[in-house]
């Protein structure tokens, strides 16, 4: 499959801040690609450059064979766009929203009704076609937006955090919608996300971005292998006891990483046995701990492995907890 997006040595600076730091990335036709990263990582900046809305400081992006910086209008014809902020017209009905957009994209009048019906069906909003978009839930608005971006049958759709803030049910509906148009119409999908789970379940390939740098790239299973971790054993304890906990890890052959409030290590296939040994060791040494647990690698573990630090929140402070969403919502 040919590359529908080519990003070469892309750099974007805002004053002294480097938002995108030398990214190289190719996306093939037919892929569902996820750009995964915490808040402030540089996801929207990258996407906006791909859309020709922002000029790169240096480097080059080609979308569908067109240099986005030189000829954004030509390339945008082939692209569906879903921005980070929802932009449906509240005082128009679902159908009217789609109609206006269809005219904007010069869909021939004789095809418009068919395309609107298709989009409403895709968004599971057929029964709401005459309802005002302003009365819709966040998830319904988002679905309307995604299907709107698909109405003019683009080859490629770029979505900036399409599911952030949505509940599980709406998120799943958007995933299904994206899977369907990818499979049935071979639409290439480039989306950004803060959710590891989303990238994992939906995307064929994932790029992890942090501080404007692409720090990992591969299929979900390749990334897991690259990280080489399974069954993370975690013991949280008072700061004063962390050193003793780490020593206990070492004494049973684990390779611990000590953070501000916990010690972790990959347990691998013998993790259950290791936990038993660890509990024995900790109790025999009378080390006071708060909690002991085991989990599959989360984005924090991936991050820890790749960057040596935990996922940051927006302020740049390290976050203590863990979860599948990067840097927020803990
Ligand atoms: N127009 C701008 N002017 C100055 N700084 C910006 C601008 N847009 C984004 N940034 C900064 O660039 C970094 C990356 O932002 P962004 O691409 O929005 O990240 P993400 O979408 O991954 O949350 C952040 O530190 C952000 O504050
Ligand atoms: Mg963003």
Ligand nearest to the CA of 84: 2
Ramachandran quadrant class, 48 (left: phi over 0; alpha: psi -120 to 50; beta: rest): alpha
- Ligand 1, atom 5, lies closest to the CA of 14
Centre of ligand 1 to C-alpha 309, Å, is 21
Structure tokens at 47: 């996407």
Higher pLDDT, 84 or 31: 31
Q: Yes or no: say if 25 and 217 are a contact pair by the CB < 8 Å rule.
A: yes
Give dist(CA 45, CA 56) in Å, integer.
9
Residues with CB under 5 Å of ion ligand 2 are: 43-44
- Average pLDDT of 118-132? 94
Q: Which ligand is nearest to the CA of 83?
A: 2
pTM of the predicted structure, to 2 decimals: 0.80
Ligand 1 atom closest to Cα of 37? 22
Question: pLDDT, tens digit, for every residue of 18-72?
Answer: 999 999 999 999 999 999 998 899 999 999 999 888 999 999 999 988 888 788 7
CB 305 within 8 A of CB 229: yes
Q: Which domains does the chain have, with CATH numbers?
A: 3-223 (3.40.50.300), 230-296 (3.30.70.980)
* Ligand 1, residues at Cβ distance < 6 Å: 14, 17, 19, 37, 39-45
The whole-number pLDDT of residue 272 equals: 92
Q: Rounded to the nearest whole angstrom, what is the distance from the C-alpha of residue 248 to the centroid of ligand 2? A: 42
Higher local confidence (pLDDT), 220 or 11: 11
Angle, nearest 10°, between helix axes 271-284 and 242-251? 130
Q: Ligand 1: which of 11, 12, 14 to mutate, judged by most atoms within 8 Å of the beta carbon?
A: 14
Q: 204 C-alpha to center of ligand 1: Å?
A: 26
pLDDT of residue 310: 58
Q: What is the mean pLDDT of the chain?
A: 87
């Amino acid at each position: 499959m040919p590359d529908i997006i080519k990003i070469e040595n892309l750099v974007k600076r805002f004053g002294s801040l480097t938002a995108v730091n030398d990214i190289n990335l190719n996306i093939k036709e037919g892929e569902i690609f996820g750009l995964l990263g915490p808040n402030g990582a540089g996801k929207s900046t990258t996407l906006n450059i791909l859309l020709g809305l922002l000029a790169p400081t240096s480097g080059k992006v080609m979308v569908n064979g067109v240099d986005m910086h030189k000829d954004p209008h030509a390339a945008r014809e082939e692209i569906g766009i879903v921005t980070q902020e929802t932009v449906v017209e509240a005082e128009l009905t679902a159908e009217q929203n789609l109609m206006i957009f269809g005219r904007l994209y010069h869909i021939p009048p004789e095809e418009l009704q068919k395309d609107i019906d298709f989009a409403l069906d895709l968004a599971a909003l057929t029964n709401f076609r005459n309802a005002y978009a302003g009365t819709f839930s966040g998830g319904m608005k988002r679905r309307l937006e995604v299907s709107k971006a698909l109405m003019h049958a683009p080859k490629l759709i770029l979505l900036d955090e399409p599911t952030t803030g949505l509940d599980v049910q709406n998120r799943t509906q958007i995933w299904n919608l994206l899977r369907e148009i990818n499979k049935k119409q071979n639409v290439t999908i480039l989306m950004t996300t803060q959710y590891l789970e989303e990238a994992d379940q939906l995307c064929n390939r994932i790029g992890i971005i942090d501080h404007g740098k692409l720090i990992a790239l591969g299929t979900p299973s390749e990334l897991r292998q690259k990280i080489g971790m399974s069954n993370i054993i975690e013991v949280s304890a008072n700061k004063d006891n962390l050193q003793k906990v780490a020593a206990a890890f070492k004494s049973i052959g684990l390779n611990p990483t000590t953070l501000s409030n916990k010690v972790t290590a990959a347990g691998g296939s013998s993790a259950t046995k290791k936990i038993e040994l660890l509990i024995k060791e900790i109790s025999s040494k009378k080390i006071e701990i708060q909690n002991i647990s085991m989990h599959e690698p989360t984005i924090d573990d991936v991050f820890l492995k790749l960057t040596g630090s935990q996922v940051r929140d927006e302020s740049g402070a390290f976050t203590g907890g863990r979860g599948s969403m990067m840097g927020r919502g803990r």
